[in-house]
Each structure stands twice: as C-alpha cells, then as structure tokens.
Structure 1
C-alpha cells in the first residue's frame, strides 16, 4: 500500500478514543503545533534544541561524500495509509494516455 504524506493544510479525523489531543478532527498544521508544544513540555531545557533549531552534528551518508557538518533536528511528518487500494494513484497511472481508436491500425 502506498503511503500519502499529509500536507499542513490537509485535515484528518480519528476516533475520540484514539485522539492524541482533545480534538479528533484537525488540520495537520494544528496537530504538528500541538505535538511540538507537547514535546517541549516533556523534554528538559537542554534537549529543547532538538525540536526547535536543531543541534550541531556531523553526518556520514551511505552515498559517500565524507563527513558534513550541520544541524540535526526532529521533524514531525504525518502519513496516511489508505485501506482501499483503489484510491491509490501512482505516477505511472497518471502518465498513461487513454487508448486510442487508432491502436488497432498501428498493430496491423
């Protein structure tokens, strides 16, 4: 099943029992903001940079290029996994042209 990464303007709804906050229907941007506030309440002040500006770090990527200096930051991303495979659109499906009435002549 293909996952759909939700944009900040998308709206999602959950059951009241599974809701993370007091709302069960909300914009993704509101959820992210609430989650960021919640995480900041739970972490100590010296760990807060992980979710705000990031912390100084170096990375060594598997594709090569050596060590690179920068910052590492925790970022929240929501994805939706459809139950119905029929609502799933792939880029290949979008690029295929509809059948042409001339296809039979081309095959001959």
Structure 2
C-alpha cells in the first residue's frame, strides 16, 4: 500500500485518463471544486452535499484506540501517486 497519499485542495487540477470516468463532469481536466459542484448538480443541487464537501458537518467520531471526539466531518479527495514512478528530482537540471 502506498503511504504517500496527498490530500487535494479545492483548486487543485485533476486530469482523468479513462473516458468512462467522466460521469459527473463532461471534460477530462477539472478542479476538485468543479467536481464538488458537479456532484451537487447531479444529485439535485443539494446544499447539504455542498456543506459536507466545503465546511464539513458537526459530528462525533470514534477511531480505534481513541475515545469519542467531537468536531466536523468533511468529504475530501486524495491523490495516490504510483509507487513505481519516482518524481523528477529538483537537482536533475543541475546534473545535466
């Protein structure tokens, strides 16, 4: 399992590779915010869905090994980079 999971921000840009994944947004490049808005429109413009994805909703959470905690729960989007592909080093330009 990849441990380098990155939480995406609302303005981060996503480009999907598979055409079949465009069930919410009709183009392949979009922001997380565009996806959130698309989901809200697809499911009837539900303000509650928007609240879940933007500011979160009041909740209590029980996590293994901890007691109940009070706070907010918010939907988010994660990026899981391929493990076998190393990102280019910032030093690569200097090495050439």
Give unmatched runs, 5+ long, in structure 1. Answer: 90-108
CA RMSD of aligned residues (A): 3.2
Counting matched residue pairs gives 80
Residues 83-106 of structure 1 deviation map (CA, whole Å, 9 limit, x = unaligned): xx3x348xxxxxxxxxxxxxxxxx
Per the normalisation by structure 1, the TM-score is 0.51
Q: Would you say the 8 A contact 2:53–2:75 is kept in 1? A: yes
Aligned match of 2:27 in 5, 19, 23? 23
Which structure: larger Rg? Answer: 1
SS in 2 for 1:58: strand
Cross-structure match for 2:50: 48
Q: Would you say the 8 A contact 1:50–1:72 is kept in 2? A: yes
Cross-structure match for 2:70: 69
Give yes or no for the alignment of 1:14 onto 2:23.
no
Normalized per residue, the structure richer in helix is 1
Q: Report the Cα offset of residue 40 of structure 1.
A: 1.8
Q: How does 1:89-104 map to 2 (within 5 A)?
A: none
Give yes or no for the alignment of 1:38 onto 2:42.
no
Give unmatched runs, 5+ long, in structure 2. Answer: 88-96
